[in-house]
Amino acid sequence: MSNIDQLTQLIEDAKKAIDEVKSIHELNETKAWYLGKKSPLQAIMKTMKDLSIEEKKELGQKVNECRDQINKLIDDKRVALEEAKILEKLNSEKIDVTLPGKKVARGSYHPLTQIIMEVESIFKGMGYTVAEGPEVELDVFNFEMLNVPKGHPARDMQDTFYINESILLRTQTSPVQVRTLLESKGAPVKILCPGKVYRRDDDDATHSHQFMQFEGLVVDKHITMSDLKGTLKLFVNKMFGEDFQIRFRPSFFPFTEPSVEVDVSCFKCEGKGCPMCKQTGWIEILGAGMVHPNVLKASGYDPKLYRGFAFGIGIERVAMLRHGIDDIRHFYTDDIRFLQQFE
Ligand code: PHE
């Protein structure tokens, strides 16, 4: 067989071999066989030295053509193999969009969080900003600067968990009053502060050693008790409904003077008297009063120029009234059947 015929045959063979190749790995091996150092092409090249110049030129050209053709066959096959692989992957990963979807479990806000968001939005609407304070608090802020010195009998009602002599778990959100006044350095103040508070109490249906309060504080030059009354009336009507009445009862807090306790008309009997309101027609929801001059003074405000009102709302109380919940412990025992009712 002449060299030229051999080359034609070689292309034929390569074509067949490449056709049968099933993988990239096999293709690489086939390439090495037909175009590598020990390939038939090289053997044909070696016969060149015995040929005339004319023949050398002709054969060289044919060898190059042959190599180019085999290379092209291999490249085409490589593309085909890769495409086939992608296609196979696409087919194997095909999803059935008609299958029913998996339901993602949906959570919801805790009922207390829902109340907090609602109350915040009511007071923000009246121009309040939301403040925060630490739950681990200094005795000075929780008691002393609120006009409750060491040994004051009012401390008995608010016994708490002490970290040491001067640090405790706050018993009320009122220390945020002091913190805010100190930070505001004599400027008018209008804040609302929700947060957890602690007391050394035995837990029962209406008591918890940890519960939540809203503190409100407004300090400016012309604040009067009627501002407090109007503010609380508006809050109660927005929170519970336009038909609800409020009533102020004289009370005592060391950091307000005068002090009041505020009741709303019973939502269950609408004031007629029932077990819920202990036959009084009223339910207590908060304590409030005009900021005591000593508190203003201690925080750098001149009580002759500035006045203010403050109030403390029990958040659980509001939530219990709102939803008719009969036991405060429900909020903290994480029973999913309880929580799911507030989705
Ligand atoms: N801090 C008081 C309490 O926990 C409530 C209160 C707040 C009273 C602000 C008056 C003014 O009982």
pLDDT band (50, 70, 90) for residue 47: confident
Whole-number pLDDT of residue 151: 92
Nearest protein CA to atom 2 of ligand 1, as residue: 312
Mean local confidence (pLDDT), 161-182: 97
* Cα separation, 200 vs 174, whole angstroms: 17
How many domains does the structure of the chain reveal?
Answer: 2
Can you tell me the distance from the alpha carbon of 67 to that of 45, in angstroms, rounded to the nearest whole number? 12
pTM for the full model? 0.71
pLDDT digits (tens, 9 = 90+) for 90-147: 888 888 888 888 889 888 999 999 999 999 999 999 999 999 999 999 999 999 999 9
Decide: 193 in ligand 1 pocket, CB within 6 A. no
Q: Is residue 104 part of a domain?
A: no
Shared domain for 64 and 116, answered yes or no, is no
Answer yes or no: are the C-beta atoms of 314 and 286 closer than 8 Å.
Answer: yes
Do residues 275 and 168 share a domain? yes
> What's residue 250's pLDDT?
97
Q: Are 30 and 141 found together in one domain?
A: no
What pLDDT is attached to residue 72?
Answer: 92
Query: How confident is residue 275, by pLDDT bands cut at 50, 70 and 90?
Result: confident
Residue % of the chain over a pLDDT of 90 = 64
The verdict on 158 and 218 lying in the same domain is: yes
Residues 153 and 32 both lie in one domain: no
| Beta carbons within 8 Å of 55's beta carbon, 6+ residues apart | none
Q: Atom of ligand 1 at shortest distance to CA of 177?
A: 9
39 Cβ closer than 6 Å to some ligand 1 atom = no
In angstroms and rounded to an integer, the radius of gyration of the C-alpha atoms of the chain is 43
Give pLDDT, residue 293. 97
Q: What percent of the chain has pLDDT over 70?
A: 100
Question: Are 116 and 67 within one domain?
Answer: no
Ligand 1 centre to CA of 172 (Å) is 7
What SS3 class is residue 171?
coil
- Sheet of strand 167-169: strand arrangement: 136-138, 167-169, 162-164
Residue 179's closest CA among 295, 86, 292, 277?
A: 295
Residue 44 CB partners (closer than 8 Å, separation 6+): 3, 6, 7, 59, 63
79: tokens are: 């593309």
287 lines ligand 1 (CB under 6 A): yes
Question: If you write DSSP's letter for every residue of 43-110 in order, what string do you get?
Answer: HHHHGGGGS-HHHHHHHHHHHHHHHHHHHHHHHHHHHHHHHHHHHHHHHHT---TTSPPPPPP-----
Same domain, 84 and 159: no
Pocket test for ligand 1, best of 148, 160, 170, 172 (most atoms within 8 A of CB): 172
CB-hemisphere CA count at 13 Å for 185? 1
Note the helical H segments in 133-224: 139-142, 175-184
Please report which helix (H) or strand (E) contains residue 194, including its range.
Answer: strand 189-198
